[in-house]
Structures are given as C-alpha cells and as structure tokens.
C-alpha cells in the first residue's frame, strides 16, 4: 500500500485517506512497512489491498495526527515500541496511540505519561487545578472465546474434507449448544457432522440432536456449484461460567493499579477506559460499572468507560464502528468527559452478535465461517453474470466459471473476517 491509495472506503474522502496513510508512512518508515515477510500486524495491513486494512490504517493515521500535535516525543517513543519484536509491547504501544487520542479535547489538556510508567497512561488537566489520571487497557478476547473459534474451525475443516471425499457439494450447519461444551463435546459434534455429511445434499431442513448440541442442516442453495464443496457453519455457544468473572477480575486489577499511583501524584481522581471485543457482555460490564461506582462514592475512580471498536460487514458495506459507554460517579466535581474517535462511525448501541436479522445473541459466543461457490456456466453463452464478494462477517461468495468439466474461481480480495489487526 502507498500513500496514494487506489480507492477509499465509502465513508472516507480520498484526500483524507491519503493524508492518513502518509502520516503512518512518515512515522513508521516505508522500508519497515514493506518488510517481507511481515513480522507485525501493521506491516501486514500496509501490504494488504483489503478494504478493512484501509479502514484501520486511516484510523491509526488520524490518531497519530492527534497525538503528534500533543506530544511528538511521546509518539516517537511509541513508534519505537510498535516496531519492536515483543508482540505485547507492539500491541500496547498501538493501543495507547489509538486510545489516548480519544481523550484529546478542548475543555482539558491531555498529557501522556512518561516512558515506562506503570499503572496509568496519562493524565488530564482541567480548570481550577483539577487533575485526573487516565488508565486505558486492551482486554481483547478471553481464552474461552478463542477456544470456540479454534474448535469451530477445526470441526468445519474436517467436515468439509469428508464432504469432498463423498462428493457432497454443500455443508450448511447451524449448531447451538445448550451449555458450555467440553473438548469431548466438540469431538462428538465433529463425528455427527462427518457421519451425516450426506445431509448436505438435501433440499429441506434436517435436524440432529446430541447432547449438548442442537444441529440444523441448512438446505443446499440452488445456485451452488457441484464442482467443489461449499460450506457455511455457525456455532453458538453459551458463555463459559467464568467468562464474566474474568472481566470483573481484570477490571478490579486495573483499578487497583491506577489507584496505587494516586498516592505519589498531585491528581485527586482516576479515569479507567477498557477496550472490549464484540464477544464481551456489555450489559454485564455496564451493570458492574454502576455497582462499582455506587460502592465507591468517594473514588478514587470517578469515571469508567467501556470502548468497543468493531468492523460492521454486510452485503452493502464494510465500516469501522465505535461504541463508547460512559459511567460517572455521582456528584462529579469536574466536567464530564465525552470521548471522540478520530475515525469511523460512532454507535449509540453496542454491536451485538446476531444471526441475520434475528435478535442479539446475549451471553454467547458465535463462530461463523463460510465459503460458497456460485456456479456460472460459460457454456450457456454470453452475457455472463458472476457475482461474488463478502456477504457477512467471515462469509465469502466465490464465482465458479465452469466449462466442459473445468472451472476457474473468481474471489474477492476481501477476507471479511472482521478482525481488528491493529489490536492483535
């Protein structure tokens, strides 16, 4: 990728994208960004032609511009860490740039913390000599959410291989667990899918039930090619019993760290901002924040923010979205904060996981992956329609151009996986 990007996402002016890319290139250096093989997510983004990559790079470029105007020396130190070999340091440095940029404002002064400061990431100076420490944290996905992704993908891949061996062109499955599945439960699901893979040839809905799974076989779409295996699998799994407690424990730990720093500072309060991913239970977190502030009316934390950036993907568009929930202590003696995102679409509600236009999937993980091959028969003559692209998160439609038993595949350059690489 270069600063002269060939096209811009639908909601970003071309000149704004080019300026953001030029900022990223100026700070990180072109030679490092094009290094091959890529050794960091940022290098992978720079070398990608995906729409998602442009959205993330625009986000980073805008945040760099904001922070550069506040403290160029601090930005330079973050760049050194972001280009380093340690993955945790890289991830932390990028998130501090993105996270602190949201705290820039006209009604206060943002001061990033000195290098190697522990417990907090900066402070805000208000009028009347008021000062509040700021602590931001990137929580990411829990190990339980990652387990669902790992087991779901393994189950799908092995089922696809059996379908290929049996000459079955379609595997479409919705598997919903009634409780948290063990490793043995996932293996049981895999065996059931592989044993019943011929259900993929059905034109009607078929069901299987095996503890703890309810399995619904989706009928084969009429436009699916028989030359290769098309597949789409969705697995819905209830939260692990410890999922909520993990978040609560991390929150208490983060508050304890920033609180410990107040004793040696002139600040009289602290602000905590936590980034969570799209599998997090926002209602549970918000209830925790209300309860915590009620139990600690005298501080030291007087504002809590939950921040949820996410890719929104459907047949119409791909967009970077931001949801920010604020909770303040009663009787706050300073101006309330209103965080601003440097790029993307602000949301008024969390971006919940959901099936098509169905209700939000609360307190659940969802694995979804699909590769569907649409038949386009060249023997039928011209004109020829060959539609393909990304239709939902991690669901891709490919066009298969077929003639005389041979075929060629047309695919979108977009992965559509919805992952935020900058935060990995």
β-strand partners of 209:
214
Q: What angle do CA 237, 278, 65 make, to 5 degrees?
A: 160
Is the peptide bond prior to 383 cis by the omega test (within 30 degrees of 0)? yes
Residue 191: which of 163, 238, 231, 159 has the closest Cα? Answer: 159
What does the alpha-carbon distance between residue 303 and residue 273 come to, in Å, rounded to a whole number?
Answer: 8
Rounded-to-integer distance, Cα 311 and Cα 278, Å: 9
C-alpha span between 358 and 408 (Å, rounded): 35
Residuewise pLDDT in 10s, the chain (424 residues): 555 554 556 568 889 999 999 999 999 999 999 999 999 999 999 999 888 899 999 999 999 999 999 999 999 999 999 999 999 999 999 999 999 999 998 889 999 999 888 889 999 998 878 899 999 999 988 999 999 999 999 999 999 999 999 999 999 999 999 999 999 999 999 999 999 998 877 777 788 899 999 999 999 888 888 889 999 999 999 999 999 999 999 999 988 888 888 877 778 889 999 999 888 888 899 999 999 999 988 888 999 999 999 888 776 678 888 999 999 988 888 888 889 988 888 888 886 666 666 667 788 999 999 999 988 766 555 444 556 777 788 888 888 887 777 778 777 777 788 889 998 8
Q: What is the DSSP letter of 360?
A: B
CA–CA separation, 92 vs 95, rounded Å? 5
Q: CA 291 to CA 301: how far, in whole Å? A: 13
């Amino acid at each position: 990728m270069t600063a002269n990007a060939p096209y811009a996402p639908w909601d970003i002016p071309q000149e704004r994208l080019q300026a953001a890319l030029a900022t990223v290139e100026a700070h990180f250096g072109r030679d490092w960004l094009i290094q091959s093989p890529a050794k960091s997510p940022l290098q992978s983004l720079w070398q990608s032609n995906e729409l998602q990559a442009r959205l993330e790079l625009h986000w980073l470029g805008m945040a760099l511009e904001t922070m550069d105007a506040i403290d160029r020396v601090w930005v330079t130190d973050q760049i050194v860490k972001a280009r380093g070999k340690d993955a945790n340091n890289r991830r932390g440095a990028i998130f501090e740039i993105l996270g602190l940029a949201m705290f820039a404002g006209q009604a206060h002064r943002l001061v990033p913390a000195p290098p190697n400061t522990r417990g907090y990431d900066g402070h805000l100076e208000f009028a009347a000599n008021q000062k509040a420490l700021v602590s931001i944290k990137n929580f990411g996905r829990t190990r339980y959410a990652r387990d669902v992704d790992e087991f779901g993908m393994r189950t799908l891949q092995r089922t696809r291989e059996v379908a290929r061996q049996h000459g079955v062109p379609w595997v479409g499955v919705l598997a919903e667990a009634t409780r948290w599945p063990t490793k043995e439960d996932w293996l049981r699901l895999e065996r059931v899918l592989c044993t019943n893979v011929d259900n993929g040839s059905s034109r009607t809905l078929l069901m299987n039930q095996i503890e703890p799974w309810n399995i619904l076989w989706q009928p084969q779409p009429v436009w699916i090619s028989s030359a290769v295996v098309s597949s789409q699998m969705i697995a819905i799994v209830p939260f692990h019993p410890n999922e909520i407690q993990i978040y609560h424990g991390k929150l208490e730990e983060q508050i304890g760290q920033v609180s410990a720093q107040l004793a040696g500072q002139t600040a009289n309060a602290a602000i905590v901002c936590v980034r969570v991913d799209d599998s997090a239970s926002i209602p549970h977190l918000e209830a925790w924040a209300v309860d915590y502030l009620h139990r600690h009316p005298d501080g030291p934390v007087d504002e809590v923010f939950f921040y949820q950036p996410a890719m929104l993907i459907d047949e119409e568009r791909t967009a970077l979205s931001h949801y920010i929930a604020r909770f303040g202590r009663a009787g706050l003696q300073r101006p309330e904060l209103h965080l601003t995102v440097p790029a993307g679409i602000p949301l008024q509600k969390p971006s919940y996981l959901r099936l098509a236009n169905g209700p939000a999937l609360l307190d659940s993980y969802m694995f979804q992956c699909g590769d569907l091959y649409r038949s386009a028969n060249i023997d039928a003559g011209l004109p020829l329609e060959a539609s393909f692209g990304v239709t939902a998160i991690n669901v891709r439609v490919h066009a298969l151009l077929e003639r005389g038993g041979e075929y060629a595949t047309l695919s979108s350059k977009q992965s559509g996986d919805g992952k935020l690489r900058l935060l990995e």
